[in-house]
């Protein structure tokens, strides 16, 4: 009799492959340009549920995320009524070596390469090459960062941005809680709530301060000013973007907090509150907030981080982990908190470094075994809090950073079957995620390549490796 986790993982994973393969020719329908309808509201939207301005009610019970595919019809088709799926095979490392070794020898993968493939139903490593060797992971480090945040805070945690009045009512302070997804609509609603609260207290003219003291240390990433990341501060709107983009590189403001406070002052004025002077840095008074707005749940933020490889969100989640573990909300504090959290999960962190949350820092080090260990834990039904690690992974040929991959070369026919986080720096190319095999097993994999000549050569080579796993029985 198979263990319950076997059919949940293998049948659910196979369902995703079957459903995606079936709709590949009609992706414009329920996929909306590649994003599955069930995930669109959770991962693709800039701020899912971001219009809430009061503390969310406590849920009746912890949310139990569904397995990665939301395809009950396909699940039904995979097994007859009254039957269960067959147990996953025990894993055959000898079967994978002849397939993966030649693909790993591709010159496009440079001169440094490591690999790990694990059967998620058993936790057994099916193939490894330097699996324990720490490598520069680029953006695949976001798997570790988001896992630590989910483990420390849970998928229902929300990040608050507050407004608090001084005892005399003459000053109000806009306080950043570290939510980079704060957008103009939520900021406007926060201003309206603040104006109503002030008016009810008889105050129609105030000074505005803004507080970013939650974060410590330098705001600039070691790479310096860059279109891939805004200054890392506790108060910002739309990740400091100066254009209409929702993801990817964009021009960024040099002072996201001041810009947000200036916009908030204008919105308060529109709501009937006169602002005296210019917004200025200040500390939050010891009092209950007048108004508050909350981010989407952490599980949603994790999915957005992984789907879009969102650097600003990744840095924010690293600092949320630091705060949860009573560390300074800084690059250094986040590194310690993330490492400690992964150690608590029993993961192999020897030699690992988390110098930042985004993976833009080349000092980051992660092993292929650590990445597959994280993905395997996320597939464990006993750890539902980690499930967004799987549901947030881009789908090959359809979503996020994999939307343009797995769809042109017959040798990389993994569209709909491979879900993976990409990683790209000059000379570094990585891919880590899950794949559904021909017999319905869910495998976790991680392939890390260093000293690569170009992404144009390395990415197809990585895609061929993961796609080759989809054909295994």
Instruction: Identify the active-site residue in 309, 330, 367, 466.
Output: 309
User: What's the Rg (C-alpha) of the chain?
Assistant: 23
Question: Are 258 and 136 in contact, with CB atoms under 8 Å apart?
Answer: no
- Using CA atoms, how far apart are residues 127 and 93, in angstroms rounded to an integer? 5
Of 48, 289, 258, 256, nearest in space to 190 by CA: 289
Question: Are 341 and 148 in contact, with CB atoms under 8 Å apart?
Answer: yes
Instruction: Identify the active-site residue in 13, 116, 139, 247.
Output: 139
The residues near 77 (Cβ < 8 Å, ≥ 6 apart) are 18
Q: How many CA atoms lie within 13 A of 221 on its CB side?
A: 23
- Using CA atoms, how far apart are residues 389 and 307, in angstroms rounded to an integer? 10
- Phi and psi for 171 in degrees, rounded to 5? -135, 140
Active-site residue flag, 142: yes
Q: Is 385 exposed, middle or buried (0-12, 13-18, 19+ CB in 10 A)?
A: buried
Of 396, 399, 354, 395, nearest in space to 374 by CA: 354
Active-site residue flag, 309: yes
Instruction: Identify the active-site residue in 142, 151, 358, 421.
Output: 142
Say how many Å lie between the first and final Cα of the chain, rounded.
21
- Using CA atoms, how far apart are residues 184 and 376, in angstroms rounded to an integer? 38
The catalytic residue positions are 139, 142, 309
């Amino acid at each position: 009799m198979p263990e319950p986790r076997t059919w949940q993982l293998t049948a659910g994973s196979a369902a995703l492959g079957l459903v995606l393969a079936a709709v590949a020719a009609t992706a414009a329908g329920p996929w909306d340009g590649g994003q599955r309808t069930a995930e669109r509201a959770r991962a693709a939207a800039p701020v899912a549920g971001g219009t809430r301005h009061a503390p969310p009610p406590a849920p009746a019970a912890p949310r139990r995320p569904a397995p990665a595919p939301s395809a009950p019809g396909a699940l039904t088709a995979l097994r007859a009524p009254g039957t269960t799926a067959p147990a996953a095979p025990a894993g055959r490392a000898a079967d994978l070596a002849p397939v993966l070794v030649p693909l790993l020898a591709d010159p496009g993968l440079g001169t440094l390469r490591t690999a790990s493939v694990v059967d998620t139903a058993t936790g057994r490593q099916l193939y490894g090459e330097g699996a324990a060797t720490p490598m520069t992971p680029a953006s695949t480090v976001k798997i570790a960062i988001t896992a630590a945040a989910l483990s420390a805070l849970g998928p229902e945690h929300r990040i608050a941005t507050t407004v608090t009045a001084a005892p005399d009512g003459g000053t109000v302070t806009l306080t950043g809680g570290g939510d980079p997804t704060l957008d103009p609509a939520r900021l406007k609603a926060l201003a309206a709530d603040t104006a109503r609260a002030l008016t009810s207290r008889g105050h129609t003219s105030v000074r505005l301060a803004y507080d970013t003291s939650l974060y410590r240390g330098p705001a600039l990433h070691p790479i310096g000013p860059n279109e891939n990341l805004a200054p890392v501060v506790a108060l910002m709107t739309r990740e400091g973007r100066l254009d209409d983009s929702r993801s990817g590189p964009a021009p960024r403001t040099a002072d996201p907090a001041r810009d947000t406070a200036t916009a908030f002052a204008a919105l308060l004025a529109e709501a009937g509150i006169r602002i005296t002077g210019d917004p200025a840095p200040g500390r939050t008074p010891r009092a209950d907030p007048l108004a508050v707005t909350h981010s989407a749940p952490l599980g949603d933020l994790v999915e957005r981080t992984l789907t879009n490889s969102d650097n600003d969100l990744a840095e924010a989640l690293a600092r949320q982990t630091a705060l949860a573990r009573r560390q300074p909300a800084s690059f250094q504090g986040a590194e310690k908190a993330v490492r400690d959290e992964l150690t608590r999960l029993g993961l192999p962190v020897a030699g690992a470094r988390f110098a930042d949350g985004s993976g833009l820092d080349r000092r980051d080090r992660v092993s292929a075994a650590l990445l597959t260990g994280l993905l395997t834990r996320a597939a464990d039904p006993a750890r539902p809090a980690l499930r967004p690690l799987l549901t947030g992974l881009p789908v090959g040929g359809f979503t996020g950073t994999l939307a343009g991959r797995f769809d042109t070369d017959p040798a990389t026919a993994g569209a709909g079957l491979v879900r993976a986080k990409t990683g790209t720096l000059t000379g570094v190319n990585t891919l880590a995620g899950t794949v559904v095999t021909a017999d319905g097993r869910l495998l976790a994999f991680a392939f890390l390549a260093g000293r690569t000549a170009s992404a144009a050569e390395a990415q197809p080579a990585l895609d061929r490796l993961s796609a080759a796993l989809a054909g295994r029985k």
